[in-house]
Amino acid sequence: MAISYIAQLVIRFLTDIILWSRENFAMKNQNRSEWNLNTLLNHPKRIIPRADNPSLLAPIYQSVKFVVSSEVGYGEQFIYGRVGNPTVRQLEGLLSDIQKKEDCIVLSSGLAAITGMLLGLLKSGDHVITFRELYKPGRIFIRETLPKFGIQSSILKLHDLDALEKSIIPGKTKLIHFESPTNPNLDIADIEGIIKIARKHQILVSMDGTFAGLHQHTEFDIDLMVQSLTKYGNGHGDVLAGSIAGKKNLIGQIRQMTINLGASLDPHAAFLVERGLKTYKLRIEKHVKNAAEVADFLAQHPKIQKVFYPGLSSHKGYELAHKQMNDMGSVVSFVIDPSCGITADQFAHKLKLIQFAVSLGATESIICPTHYFFGDDLSPIDKADLGIGPFSLRLSVGLEDAEDLIQDLKDALEA
């Protein structure tokens, strides 16, 4: 007994020395015992766990600056939060792993990812091709902001691959940027068709895969995959974030630009996204199951004129979607029969459980009319072509019980 007690004391003594020396190491050059109150308040003893005793969950490095080391070059260290942060870097590693890309950069929003990518890749005199079906703020940025920097664009119809090839300007066209499924009516792009044309002309391809999520389209040879993590990635509707995953050299080139733009993600936001991702697969399964049930209900309702959901055989992208995707996501768009005398806006306000709000891919179901939020910059012809009008809505199906969502839709349609 006595011997083991003494042995324990010795072990504790040795451990204390090790811990003490670690703390001491972390606070080298400091004279704590001589400091006054304000100095102590601003320099708490830093606790750094041993390398073989790390916290299981990643700490949030909620610090703008890092103490500069003399051991390695300045370019290899974390120095300033806008340029790099370990919490943010860990999220980037996770996102490149799950999307099967060499590298990834996370940014302060999905839109920052789109605009940062465009500005990082393109220069004055270049030309970019995209589609009218694009997420509205990205479409507006390409059409109205890029020309200020001498970057021209062609905005085409998603399914017109002939026009795509004809729009290529040799030596000038550098990028084709597209989405699939598209907002708000879930058009499906012919990804192989687009990539084939891009490769033939040695043009880069970027895809915004937000509506499909992070787990889909990873097998395609897409140079840069953009995601709004604000949606399924974080999944809880409480963080704005975006990412671009792709080849190391391209991500490096974009990173230079986005650091200069100041679009970095805050470490606390990165932590929340990483936490949200733990349940990503479970959430997606439930989202998709709910969406399929809601889409079936709407498709059979006499007051609904049309439902846009790639999982329905009536959807024009049904076959392509099943070729390219493992699941069809949880956005269901639909048009109320105009003869019912209720507009999309009136309907959205009538629902009691499903809230009238924008965004998608979070735990709560939300709905919004499409005409104001997604199409007010389009010509009347394009709007009609894309199914955007006064009676059309976009529903993001959440994680509630499908029967309650269906009851809410039923009540509002019958009232």
Ligand X SMILES: *Cc1c(COP(=O)(O)O)cnc(C)c1O
Closer residue to ligand X (CB): 159 or 301 = 159
- 2 in Cβ contact with 8 (< 8 Å): no
Q: Which residues pair with 155 in a beta bridge?
A: 130
Q: What's the chain's length in residues?
A: 415
As measured in angstroms, the least distance from the Cβ of 136 to ligand X is 9
Q: What are phi and psi of 130, to 5 degrees?
A: -145, -165
Secondary-structure breakdown of the chain: helix, strand, coil percentages, each rounded to the nearest 5 = 45, 15, 40
Indicate the residue type of 63.
S
| Residue 183 in contact with ligand X, rule: CB under 6 A | yes
**Structural Rg of the chain based on CA atoms:** 26
Q: Using CB under 6 A, which of 85, 99, 154, 230 touches ligand X?
A: 230
Under the binding rule (CB under 6 A), the answer on residue 179 touching ligand X is yes
Residue 209 C-beta: closest distance to ligand X, Å = 8
Smallest distance, ligand X to C-beta of residue 205, A: 16
What strands lie across the sheet with 366-369, from one edge to the other?
A: 304-308, 331-336, 392-396, 366-369, 355-356
Q: Would you call 69 helix, strand, or coil by DSSP?
A: coil
List 204, 240, 284, 312, residue binding ligand X (CB under 6 A): 240
Nearer to ligand X, 111 or 412 (CB): 111
Closest CA to 121 of 163, 175, 171, 73: 175
Which range, of 1-9, 208-216, 246-254, 396-404, touches ligand X by CB under 6 A? Answer: 208-216
- Spell out the SS3 assignment of 5-41: HHHHHHHHHHHHHHHHHHHHHHCCCCCHHHCCHHHHH
Nearest-angstrom CA–CA distance, 351 and 407: 10
- Out of 184, 235, 242, 387, point to the residue binding ligand X (CB under 6 A): 242
- How many whole angstroms separate alpha carbon 133 and alpha carbon 117? 19
Contact segment (CB under 6 A) with ligand X among 67-75, 98-106, 166-174, 228-236 equals 228-236
Smallest gap from Cβ 399 to ligand X, in A, equals 18
Task: Report the residue number, 211 or 391, with the smaller CB distance to ligand X.
Answer: 211
Q: Which residue is listed with tokens 């020309």?
A: 147
Give the shortest CB-258-to-ligand X separation in angstroms: 13
Q: How many residues in the shown chain lie near ligand X by CB under 6 A?
A: 14
Question: Could you tell me the two tokens for 102?
Answer: 């060499």
Quote the CA–CA distance of 317 and 212 in Å, as a whole number: 14
Q: Least CB distance from residue 389 to ligand X, whole Å?
A: 20
Q: Does 225 bind ligand X (CB under 6 A)?
A: no
Tokens representing residue 401 in the block: 């019980």
- Per CB under 6 A, the list member of 78, 211, 232, 347 interacting with ligand X is 211
Stretch that binds ligand X, among 207-215, 250-258, 321-329, 367-375 (CB under 6 A): 207-215
**Alpha-carbon gap, residue 136 to 184, rounded angstroms:** 10
Q: What is the nearest approach in angstroms of ligand X to the Cβ of residue 301? A: 26
- 178 touches ligand X (CB under 6 A): no
Q: Which residue bears the tokens 């005409």?
A: 371
Indicate whether 206 belongs to the interface with ligand X (CB under 6 A): no
Q: Is 135 in the site for ligand X (CB under 6 A)?
A: yes
- Name the residue whose CB lies closest to ligand X: 110
Find the binding residues for ligand X in span 101-120 (CB under 6 A).
109-111
Residue 181, interface with ligand X (CB under 6 A)? no
Sites of contact with ligand X (CB under 6 A): 109-111, 135, 179, 183, 208, 210-211, 228, 230-231, 240, 242
